[in-house]
Each structure stands twice: as C-alpha cells, then as structure tokens.
Structure 1
Amino acid sequence: MKSFLTALFIGFSILAFGQNALNGTISDHHNKPIESVTVAIPELHRETISDSIGRYIFNDLPNGNFSLTFSSIGYANKTMTISLNQKEATLNITLEETATHMDEMIVSTVFNKVQSQNVMKVEHQSVKQLQQKGATTLVEGLSTIPGVSQISTGTSIGKPVIRGLSGNRVLVYSQGIRMENQQFGEEHGLGMSDAGVESVEVIKGPASLLYGSDALGGVLYFNPEKFAKTNTFSGNFNQKLFSNTRGSNTTLGIKSSSDNWKFLTRGSYSTHADYEIPSGEKVINTRFIEKDYKIGLGYANTYYNSEFRYNYNNLNIGLPEEDITPEHFRTPLYPKQDIDNHMLSLHQKFFLRNSKLEADLGYTYNNRKELEAADEVALHMKLKTASYNVKYYLPKSGNLETILGVQGLHQTNENNGEELLIPDATTNDIGVLLTSNYEWKSHTFQAGIRYDARKINSETHGVIDEEGYFEALDKTFESFNTSLGYKTKLLQNLTLRANIATGFRAPNLAELTSNGVHEGSNRYEIGNADLKNEQNLQTDINLEYGNAHFEFFANGFYNHINDYIFLSPTGNTIDGNDVYDYVQDDAALYGGEIGIHYHPHPLDWLHFVSSFESVTGKKSNGDYLPLIPANKFSNTIRTEFDIQQWFKNGYALLNVDYILNQNNVGSFETKSNDYTLLNLGFGGNVNIGKNKFDLSLNANNLLNKTYIAHLSRLKTDGIPNIGRNVVLGLNFNF
C-alpha cells in the first residue's frame, strides 16, 4: 500500500507543470504607492511585502487558480482569484482606506474562501487579539468569542464549550490534524499552548460533513504560526507576568525562509502558583507548569508543497482537594496530573494540470498520568492516534468547485496504572465525502454528502459484578450526513447566510464501558454497551450588515439531537457514592448571538463593540440539560491612537461583561447567581531610540468581584473563581 501511494504521488507530480511569476504594484485611490502591504497566496503558504514603491513579486508559482490576499493596517483587505497559466502575469491593485476589521481567509471549511465569501459563518480570531484581552490560558481567551465558553477547574484546566456542547461533541484541529487527548473527561483540558498558534477558527454547529464523528457540536481549528516571508530571518522574545498567580510565561521563537525551504522553531515555559480569590485566600494546588516546544519545516516548488510540524506539550497540573498541606510555591502537589502530548503532522499539496491533491497525515501520542503520591500512579493512559485526510480538488467547471475526500484514523488506548476508567481498546474510522460550491452572481450554494464508519474493539478486564469490570466490545457505528448552505447579498452591505446540516457522534469508551467511581466528580458511573449514535439536525441563520463605520450581526440556531447521551441518577449508592447510568433521550438546544461594532466618523479611533449570547438546552421531557452556559452580555469601548513617533498602534480598552443568573439546570447541578466583571487593557508599539518592543497591560476582574462561574468544576465546593489579575506583556522582535 505504501509503495502504491508513493508511485501515485510521483505520477501526479509528473502531470503537474508550470513555472510562473506574478508581480504588480499596490496603490491607494490617489495613485500613491502603499508600502509594507502583506501579499499572500494562502494555498501555497507564500507571502511577501510590498516595497517602497508599492511593488510585489512572486516567482516559481504553479499553474492553477489561487486566492491572492492584500492586507495592511488602515486599508480594507482585498482578495482576488488569479489564474496562473503563463510565464509571467501582472496584477496592479488599489486599496481603499477603512477602519473596518480584516476579511480573513478561512481554512477550516476546505474551499479556502475569505469570510465574506464563505457560506458558513465562521468566527475567526487571531491569538494576538485573544492575548490583548489578558487571558491566562488559550481556552480562557476562546471564551471571549460569542457562543464559546469553558468548563474550568481553576486557572489550569479549561474545556471549550460551543453553544452548550463540549467534550467529544467538539472537535479540535491543530496543525491540520485532529487532536486526541482523552477529551471525554470533565477534568481533561485542551492540552495545547497558544505559543506558536497564529489564529483560531470556530465552526459553531455540526461539521460532520467535513470532519466526521465528534464534530456534532462544532470545531475549533487552530492555524499554526506562519513561516517567515521568502528570503528573510526573524524572531521574537515574549515575556508575560501575572499578578494573581505570581505567574510567568516566557516564549522564544525564530524562523527563516529561502526561495524553497522554510524553517521555524519555538519554545515556551509557563509557571503559575495557586490562584487567589477576592478574600485573599489561595485555592491550594491550582498551580501548574506548562512546557511547549514546536518545530516546523517546509519545502515548496512549482509542482509540490510540503510542510512538516512537530509539537511537544507537557502539563504538570495540581488538582485541588480538601486537606492538602500547602508547601513549596509553584511545584504542583499531589494529587496531580502529568500529561505529555506529542503531535506530528505532514501536510502535502500536489499541483496538477487543472486540479490539486492535498494529503494531511498525522500522529498524536497522549501520555496521561494521574498521581496520588510520588510512588503511586493511580491512572496512566496512553492514547496513540494515526490519522489521514486526503482531498482531491476536481478541475473547476465554470463557477462550480467540487472536492472528493477520504479520511480516517487508527487509535489504540492502553492502560498502565492501578485504576482503569476505560478499557484497553482499538478504534478505526473511515469516512468518504463529496462536497461542491457554486457561485452565481451574488448567490453562493454549497452542498455535500458523507458516509462514516467507526469500529471499536476492547478487551475484557476485571471480575464480573465488581468495580472496574469491563466486558469486551466489538461495535460498529455508521452514519450518513449531509449539508446544504446558501449565502446571498440582500443589499449591498447586507449578507444573509442559511445552513442546514446533520451531524453525528459515536459513543465514547467511557459512555460504553464505565464501571466505577469517577474521582473528578465523585460519582459511580455505569456505562451502556447498547448506546446508539447521537444524530443531530441543526439549522442556522446568520444576518450581517457592514459599512465603513457600523457593523451588525445576528446568529440564530436550532439544534435537535436524537439519542443524546447523558448521565442519569439511579437513586442507589455504592460505597457512599451516588450511582449514575449513561442513558439516551432526544434533546434540543437553541439560541444564538447578536452584536454590533460602531466606530463613528470622524472619530475613527473610537470603537464600541457589544454582543449578547444565549443558549437553552432541554431533553424531550422538558428537563434541562447540564453544563449549559449562562447568558452573557458583553460591552467593550476601545480607542486607537499614536503618540508622536515613540508609541505607535496604541490602544486602550474597557470591557464590561454581565453574566446572567442560570436557573435552568440539570439534575445534578445547582443554580448560579449573576455577576458583572470589569476589565481594562492598554498596549502598543514602543519606539525609543534603537529600542523597539510591543507592550500590553491588562487588569482583569478589576473590582476584585467574588463570583462562581456556572461551568466551574469547583462550584460544588463553593470555591470562587480568580480575583483581580494584572497581566504585563513585553514582546521583542528581531
């Protein structure tokens, strides 16, 4: 099989041809050249910058149709589709001055459209934008995006929630491959650092057509840091300090690029002590240490583009419990988690005569330990996943684009600790998809169909009728899914998007096999080997209006889930622990997000951003679903300014978040009170003589408000969330 694929790829490469050059000039509407415009061909991972006379040049480009993007601060982003089939092409561009946000290229929806062209509404945020909000962790930053929240355990563990769905219902992609890290557990976090991550794209709704099982509730797609621009060398050193946790985050990265070869590497080290609540008390053993290392190597020529990346992440996380004697300062105490994540990815593109072939190959290794004492490894799970994702882009026919794809994985779970939450098991996935995108005037249609099969085999373990007994599984789960989307311009500045899609999720091993006490929640959980697929149908409506000074959006959704899997109390106890069964019932989630962005003329430096988000989840009998975030009303005033030549691209912001009370709770939850948080931010580029650096200063929960978030796992113990936290960041580019 391996030799066949190699021969196939070589054959495709022989069919490819073309060695093109592209150049042009960039100017404003006064015909004045614009310097330092970033010109990118995202599909080829190629970037350059316009020179002092507005000129840009690309060499050694393959034949085909490609998106070309132009972006610069103070100007509206521009995206063009260019057809390369001759030796040299010239494209001159005029950019319009504007204060609106950039129109970003969306990678997660496979057709690589900018957001304004995309049929699906996808939230795009750069990690720099999230960091400007003073977030301690990556997931904390994600929770500032409307429709996204987090299930947290202190400041160290955060699980993303998209419109009320979390865990295995939200799929995470990084470096172009799916992350697998035992995400079924409530106390199992995201397992990745924001160091070396360029941006995140959030699909809020079923994306099973694109990604298969586990994308029933949505997708978080993390785009890695870009390579350096051609024939350049650059690097940066970043240091952050956190007042509340006495925390520190240090990051160093370098990258270099030639005409064909690209290289980057980045290391990061974070350490945080126990967080402090507004009363001045410390929450013992919420400390953590995170180490992260990334390396990337790329090669591109006229016919072929290849990108290899490796990421190692280590998390040493304390688990707060009663009667822990505080000692040391930052070193996590017992009980704690020690987690290693290894991720390797190989992304390849082959450019053919009028089409292209993409292949993403991935391998992840999650080595998770939970330690009760120095010599006692209570839980030790090794999860190894090899995955592939191959897509063939058929030759474009007029305005019709079509993709054929095949995806799959081979996964093994192995236990080495004294306790078992799930048995040793093997999982095999395969999925086949067909999707098309058609544009006609101001209308765009997108449709697709997909078939998936997941086979799970596990081993028998333990003694019948005793805790820790797992009966062997041999189960296959299948599903057909479809998606239909439509986008149109109702008016020049008014866009309508409507999508209807199905999704599915095969039951995970914990739901199928559990038989014991889950220490994270003190419940005796019993699995059900007869569980069926969760299957959903979701409708989404998105309305967007935008002109030079005012933007508005409204998103509404209704998500019906057949055979929703949840824990139900039996009324029995085993060894003093309440017993819960995994059962199924139909459920529905509905709600949406609405918001505005106003920057009045002539006060283009002033921005007012406001949003409201709401979600309700119910079973078919009218009972509320658990782990549904409270409604949230967020308001931000932001100013942008320069102070002569020594302080450029400055900003100051004031954010007020009002989180409403949550009275719609599940069977093992309690109600939550409302609260208001005030946050401040300030930053910009400092230029003092030859010294240049970026400065950011944030004060989160400025008023030191005592509150307990509804999705905090420490809520049952009455432990408040973090108090006031001042974050200072310095970034030096070289």
Structure 2
Amino acid sequence: MKKLPLFLKHYCKNLAQRLILYFFFILLLIPFHENAGQSISFSLSGRVVDEQEAPLQAIVSIHELGKSVIPNENGFFEFQDLKPGNYHVHVTHIGFKSFSKTIHILNGDFFLEVGLVESEILLNSMTVEANPFKNGPLEQSQTILILDRDFIQKNNGGTFANAIEKLPGISTINTGVGISKPVIRGMSFNRIMINDRGIKQEGQQWGADHGLEIDPFDVDRVEIIKGPASLIYGSDGMAGVINIAPAAFKQNGEIEGHYSGMYRSNNDMISHSIFVDGNQDDFVFRARFTAQDFSDYRVPAQNFIYAGFLLPIFENRLKNTAGKERHFSFTGGVQKKWGYSTLTVSGFNQQAGIFAGAVGIPNSYNLRHDGDHRNIDIPRQDNQHYKVIWNNNIQFGKFWMELDLGYQRNQRKEFSFPHTQGVGPNNFGNLALSLNLDVLTANLRLNQQHGENGQSILGFNLQHSLNQHRGFEFLLPNFQSIMGGIFYFREQRLSENLVWNGGIRADGAAHDIEEHLQPIYVRFQPTGEFDQRNPDIKRNFLNMSGSTGLSWVIKENLNVKFNIGSAYRIPTPIELASNGVHHGNFRHEIGNSELLAERSYQADLNLALSKKKLYVSFSPFFGYFDNFIYLAPAPRFSPLPGSSLLWEYRQNNAIFTGGEIMMQLAITKGLNLSIGAEYVHNLNLDTGLPLPLTPPFSTLTGLEYKIPKFSNSIENLYLFVESRWAAAQNRVDRNERITEGFQIWEAGLGWDLQIWENSLQLQLSGQNLTNAIYFNHLSRYRLLNLPEQGRNISFSINIPIGIR
C-alpha cells in the first residue's frame, strides 16, 4: 500500500470496512430469518410422468435453494420444510423437453403434477438458469444457448473457450494450444462478459494472446446469451454474456468423488482432475484439483514464410509451445430453508511457452530444436488468477435477494530477453512485463414474483480495479477504476403464449491513469533520460441503456423471440493509455486518451421450431455502433525495436449483421444429424472497409449414432463424425491478411463401461483426421503464416466414485 496515493488508501480502507459491515449484516440476518420462519413451513410434492402417464425418475430442482431430488419408482417427489414464498422449479430428464414453473407456497402444502414431453433433441431438452432472471429459456427474449457438463466433457479441447466453439455464433481467438478466448458474433475482448459463479471474470482480456483463466474441468453448466446484455450485466455485456454456474448441491448425507483424465497425442497433453462434492447436515462442500501438462505441438508443415524468408519448423513441431497448468477450487457453505450461502476460493496457474519466433524477429537460429519438447523456455508467459467469491441467495418474504461479493487477483508475467528488445542491464532481469490486477466486485439483486404473470428485478453492481505493472517493457500504465450501475428489469406475461420484458439501467465509471516515464537506452545502456509514454489521464463516464423484447409461442412447437436494445461500453485503460510493443499481436499499440464511450443499437430475432424429432433455430441480428473502438495501422513505423508498424486505437461508426442457423434431426431411433452455420458481416462506415478479426462464414455438420444398451457391461455407446467447413475470408481491413478456406474432419466414439457399481465414461476421438494444412483467421500465429495443429487423437475417461 506504500505506493498508493493517500486518497486511494483511504478509499480502500473505507471499502474494506463497508464490505466487512455488509458481511456481518448478512450473517446476522440469516439466523434471524431462519428462526423467524421455523414455526411456519410447508412441503412441495408432486409426480413426474411422460405423455403416457408412465412415471419418470427425472431431476427436480428448486432454483433458489440449489436443491434437487430424484422421484421414486412411481414418479413421486417431495421437498419438505419450505418457507412461505415463491420458488422456481425446473425438471429435466434425458430424452424429454425441460419443464419450468414458478410456484407460490402461501398457506399450505403444494402438489405439482409434471408431464414431460418426449424429445430426441439434446439441446432442446436442457435448462440451466445461470442468469438472475429465474425463468426458463422460453420466457427470455434473447438468443440463448445452453450447455451441460456432458457437452463440455465431450468437446474438451484443453481450454474452456475451445469447448464451446462448436456452437453456431461462437468462435475463438487462439495463440497456440493452451491460450484461447471466446468470440461471439465477431466480437470479443471487453465486449464479452464472462461470469464465474456470479462474478465478472476480470483479467487482461483486452489482449488477443491473453487466454481465459478458467479451468475447463471446473465447469458444470453454461448459459451463453448472444446479443446486448448490458441491462443486467453492465458495460462489458455489449456483445454477449457467458454464465458459468456450479451444479446443484448434493442431497443431505450424500458424498461423491470424481476423476477425469485426458490424453491428446498432438502435443502429448496429459490432464488429471479430481473432484469431491458432498452435503452433510446442510453443510455443502466441493473441492477440485486439476493438472495439465503438454509439449510443443505438431503442425503439418516443415517450414513457413515470414517477411520474405523461408524458415524451418524442425520435426514438424513449433518450438517452445509447451506448457503446464495447476488449478484448484474449494467451496464450503450452508444450505437452509431460507436459501444458501457459500464461499469459494479458486486458483488458476498456467505457464505457457510462446513460439520462439513470436517475440522479436524469427530466424533459423532461435527456431532450432533444443532437445526437449516439454521444455518451457523464454519467451513465455506465467498467468495466475486467484478468486474469493461469496454467493448468497436469501429469502426475504416475497423477495429473493442475491448477493455476490468477490475479490480477484490476476497476475500476468511475460518473460523475454532484454537484448532482443533493445534493452541492456536492468533491475528486472528477463521479466519483460508484469501486470497485476486486483478487483473487488459486489452484485446485489432483489427478485420479486408478481403472481403467475411476471417478475421484477432491482439490481446494483459495483466494481473497483487497481492495476500495477513492472518489467523492463511498457504497455499498460498503473491505473485504478471504479464502475457501478443500477438497473430495473420487468417481465410480464401478457397472455398464456406471450411474454414481454424490458428494463433500464444507469451506469457511471471513473478511470485514474498514472503518468509513465520509460528509461531510454542507447547501445543497451541506460542514458538516465526518460520518455513519457503516457501522461496522467482522468476520465469520467455516465451512461444510460435499456432493452425490451417479446417471446411469443405462436403454436405449441413454434417460438418467436425479438429483442431490441441500446447498449454501451466504457473505454478501457488499455484503449486510453497504451503505448508499447504488444508481442502477442506483433505490433506497437498506442492508445487515445480522448476516446468516447461506445454506443450500440441492436436488434435480435430468434425463430425456433421444436418437435419430437426436429429442432430448427434461425437467429438473425443487426447492430449499429456509434464510436466503435478498434485498432488500425497508422501510416508510419514504430520507433521501438522489435516492432514494425504503429497501430492506433480509433473510433468510427460501424454495423454488424449476420445470423446463425442450427438444426438437429432424429433420422431414425438413435441416429441424429446436426447442422450449424454462422455468418458475420461488418463494415466500418467511415472507411468503407471491414473491421479486423472477423470470423469467416462456416458450417459444422455432424452425424451421431447412439446405442443405449450394447452389452451387459457397455451402455450409452455413441459414434460420431463431424466436418467443419470454413469459407475464405477475403473481407479484411487494411494490412490484414486474407485467409483461405478449409475443411477438417473429426470422428470418435464413447461409451459407459460398467465395472462393479461404477459407470466409467470413456471417449476416443480424432481431430483434423486428414492432417490438413489450414489457417484459422482468428489465430494470432496466422500473422506468422503458421498453420493450425495437425492430426490429434484424444482419449478421455471419467470415473465417478460413490463415497456415500
């Protein structure tokens, strides 16, 4: 705290005091409300059947309490000791559409009869509700994709972002193998918000080479909102939101363990993850530890061309692209009839090598094999992301209060040789850049049900960020930011088949960015003089946003959703004050302290036809962006070593339009066809050129065959084949490379192996089976003319362990 200004010390001290007071206030209220309601409690019981009135042993959950039960063999279930109030119940079962209903327990016990409708379409049968609306996807007016743990496990590519890119409208920006970040409808970075357990994930997401620090094994349920979501989530929800939520708590007295392992042949990746989940007398706990190690990855090429030079790729492996990861998480808390309160502590630790030609100028010498494909040499990056998250969901009469408090520390270190950057002896050794970001977050939401006809949410968000840097290079200055907002959301059921929603939000933010003076070196020796990379910058912002939409069930199987909204995004400190070589992007980037806040006007339509054997979804969108912020090449070269052109942050008006199509067809019993297509078209209205990093038109076609009972020991056998086709991307910005189209193939099989009382889940699959040479337009190594990974064979195993 010695380097902080006095007013910041005072602020942090007061903030800490307030948070402590809030903690004690909540802790005092919880037992009070528990005791107050002990004399009045009721039960929720019911029966789950199919269309022929046959009982089903589905999963019945109460969203607010995080509780779930499985009905008995006759389909009956029961929740006991419930306080009077409103509860949202959802029911899921494999092979059936999900069921959601808000019930009101006031003066007596409640009985619920649930009839599930059969469906052979997987995506149409799930419900997640990671968002704060407490309603199902049918009531929401935006395009939403829902994933469960089985989908994440089946498509685990080593990172969380790679696991979700098989959905239409979702792409990834990759730097090698272990570093990736999601793209929604052609937009990424600070235009997409990632919420982990209710808290906005904050790191260095402005960088294309900065991956998403999420353990891919520690993800149970995901909800992806495509389109403007600033109303509920704030500034960074302009393009969409990815909500990551934990699974429902175990039942009292139940404790389970789980082991997941994976091997990938292309880079010899070995992954292990151990998980324990339990509930003992309403004390809930979870713990996970994950370890991943991988070596230099293989490409189907022996050389590449950079800056007119033909350079070698020894043994078809990119030198220094190995890495290792160690992640952990622990959750403990209580689950009572008034709700629940949990505390989660997690850590993400990654060390990843950067291709030797990615920092400085590639040459044959630094590309030569060093004798160890698992060695992590310089240049490399070390990333740590630690989080403490306190989640509370508490009943106050007719209201449910959600309070999420979080602290994050994101530390990113980049190591490089000083002499390659024109720097001599210094106090930091090989530490080129260290960015340390501390973030405090508080989210408060009050949810009230208005009978059967709707609900309302009043919410408040507050976030304080403090960034400090070290190292012999400079890219981003020290800064502190305070952002906060308040919103009101209302949902109203106008008729049985028509739901309206809308809301308004006000936000404010303040950036305080410090001046930075960079030492000047001549012939690798410091001169004692300094270059001002950026001055002191103080900027304040105030914005309003809003949205409204309709969800109309025209017929039983046809749902139309329409949403319009105005979203905003506050310029980040990197956009306002950067001035240095960003090696992940191979360029010198410079900010603009005069940037204004972005404003968008977006419309989103979704048509969904859902039948027993067919699901079709069409989602066109259009957005006009006022003062869209982007990086563009300047007409001059950078004066800094190790870089070429100078790139500047600019603002222009732009449009984004396009759409996604998704179809699933059950051809015969057990045989399913899936087709997904996506297209993004954007245009800079001032230059008449496309915007950079626009994904090309692509399709993903898959065929899967399932055999529920193959033998006495093998169940749920499935075989699948998929083909990804991407068109050439010829619509590029100035100085952006055109990328040729490609087609790659993937195939595999999976099965459940019954051993004693355990059911082992196994999967064997192959990616890029033809070992095709292709380029991903969003890959950062594309700038070096490096192709993507070659053929890869994956094997995964999941072993549940029933402890009690």
1:194 aligns with 2:249: no
Q: How does 1:478-497 map to 2 (within 5 A)?
A: 478-497=542-561
Q: Which of 494, 508, 525 is residue 589 of structure 2 equivalent to?
A: 525
Q: Any gaps of 5 or more consecutive residues in structure 1?
A: none
Question: 1:430 — aligned with what?
Answer: 484
Match of 1:633 among 683, 694, 699: 699
C-alpha contact (below 8 Å) 1:106/1:113 kept by paired residues: no
Q: Give the match for residue 430 of structure 2.
A: 376
Q: Distance in 2 between matches of 1:155 and 1:367?
A: 20
Deviations 1:600-633 (A, max 9, x none): 3xx2211111121000111013111000001101
Cα shift readout 1:532-559 (whole Å, capped 9, x = no counterpart):
0011111011101011111111100011
Q: How far is 1:38 from its partner? A: 1.3
How far apart are 1:663 and its partner, in Å? Answer: 0.2
Q: For 1:245-644, what aligned pairs fall within 5 Å after superposition?
A: 245-279=267-301, 281-322=316-357, 323-324=366-367, 325-372=369-416, 375-394=429-448, 396=450, 399-440=453-494, 441-462=496-517, 469-575=533-639, 577-600=644-667, 603-620=668-685, 621-641=687-707, 642-644=709-711
CA distance in 2, matches of 1:668, 1:448: 42
Counterpart pick for 1:100 among 121, 129, 144: 121
CA distance in 1, matches of 2:631, 2:385: 29
- The alignment of Structure 1 onto Structure 2 pairs a total of residues equal to 731
Task: Name the residue aligned to 2:158.
Answer: 136
TM-score (norm 1): 0.96
In the TM superposition, what are the counterparts of 1:700-715 in structure 2 within 5 Å? 700-715=767-782
Alpha-carbon distance between aligned partners in 2 of 1:249 and 1:552, rounded to the nearest angstrom: 36
Cα distance between partner residues in 2 of 1:590 and 1:424:
37
Cα displacement string for residues 472-508 of structure 1 (whole angstroms, at most 9, x for unaligned residues): 1111011100000111012221111000011111111
Write the deviation string for residues 86-110 of structure 1: whole angstroms up to 9, x where unpaired.
Answer: 4533334343443233543343542
* Cα deviation code 1:268-304 (max 9, x no counterpart): 1011111111246001111111111011113122224
Match of 1:60 in 2: 81
Partners of 2:46 and 2:114 within 8 A in 1? yes
Residue pairs, 1:163-174, within 5 angstroms:
163-174=185-196
* Matched AA of 1:80: K
Label 1:395 to 1:107 Cα distance change in 2 as closer, same or farther (>3 A).
closer
Change (3 A) 1:672 1:50: same
Equivalents in 2 of 1:193, 1:204: separation in Å? Answer: 23
Match of 1:73 among 82, 94, 98: 94
What is the Cα deviation at residue 196 of structure 1? 1.8
Q: Within the alignment, does 1:123 sit opposite 2:152 as a pair?
A: no
Letter in 1 for 2:501: Q
1:668 is the counterpart of 2:735: yes
- Indicate if the aligned counterparts of 2:484 and 2:508 stay in contact, CA closer than 8 A: yes
Cα 1:656/1:299, change in 2 over 3 Å: same
Cα 1:412/1:656, change in 2 over 3 Å = same
Cα offsets for 1:362-411 (capped at 9, x unmatched): 11100111112594211111100000010112352551311111101011
Q: Which has the higher mean CA deviation after the structures are superposed, 308-317 or 522-531?
A: 522-531
What is the aligned partner in structure 1 of residue 9 from structure 2? none
Distance of 1:691 and 1:406 partners within structure 2: 46
Residue 226 of structure 2 corresponds to: 204
**Equivalent position to 1:219, from 241, 247, 252:** 241
Q: Which letter does structure 1 place at the counterpart of 2:135?
A: K
Mapped to 2, the partners of 1:226 and 1:7 lie a distance apart of 26
Q: C-alpha distance in 2, partners of 1:304/1:109?
A: 17
Q: Deviations 1:178-213 (Å, cap 9, x if unpaired)?
A: 011111111111111111211221111111111111
1:693 aligns with one of 734, 748, 760:
760
1:699 maps to amino acid: G
Tell me if the contact between 2:98 and 2:127 (Cα under 8 Å) persists in the aligned partners. no
Change (3 A) 1:98 1:78: same
The 3-state SS of whatever aligns with 2:217 is coil
Residues 1:681 and 1:384: Cα distance change in structure 2 (over 3 Å): same
Residues 627/675 of structure 1: CA separation in 2 closer, same or farther (3 Å cut): same
Counterpart-to-counterpart distance in 2, 1:397 and 1:91: 16
Gaps of 5+ in 2: 1-17, 302-314, 358-365, 418-427, 521-529
Structure 2 counterpart of 1:456, one-letter code: H
In structure 2, distance between residues paired with 1:128 and 1:668: 42
2:720 paired with 1:653: yes
Q: What secondary structure is seen at the aligned counterpart in 1 of 2:517?
A: coil
Indicate how the Cα distance of structure 1 residues 688 and 395 shifts in structure 2: closer, same or farther if over 3 A, else same: closer
User: Which amino acid in structure 2 is aligned with residue 150 of structure 1?
Assistant: T
Deviation at 1:133, TM superposition (A): 3.2
- C-alpha contact (below 8 Å) 1:13/1:352 kept by paired residues: no
Q: Distance in 2 between matches of 1:203 and 1:535?
A: 19
- CA distance, structure 1, for counterparts of residue 87 and residue 671 of structure 2: 36
Deviations 1:24-82 (A, max 9, x none): 333344544334x2111122100112233333222232322212122222333222322
Q: Residue 145 of structure 2 contacts residue 224 of structure 2 at CA under 8 Å; is this kept in 1? A: yes
The 8 Å contact of residues 142 and 605 in structure 2, kept in 1 or not, is answered as no
| Structure 1 letter corresponding to 2:88 | S
Name the counterpart of 1:159: 181
Q: CA separation of 1:122/1:98 partners in 2, compared to 1, >3 Å: closer, same or farther?
A: closer
Q: Secondary structure at the match of 1:421?
A: coil
The answer to whether the 8 Å contact 2:262/2:272 transfers is yes
Q: Which residue of 1 aligns with 2:312?
A: none
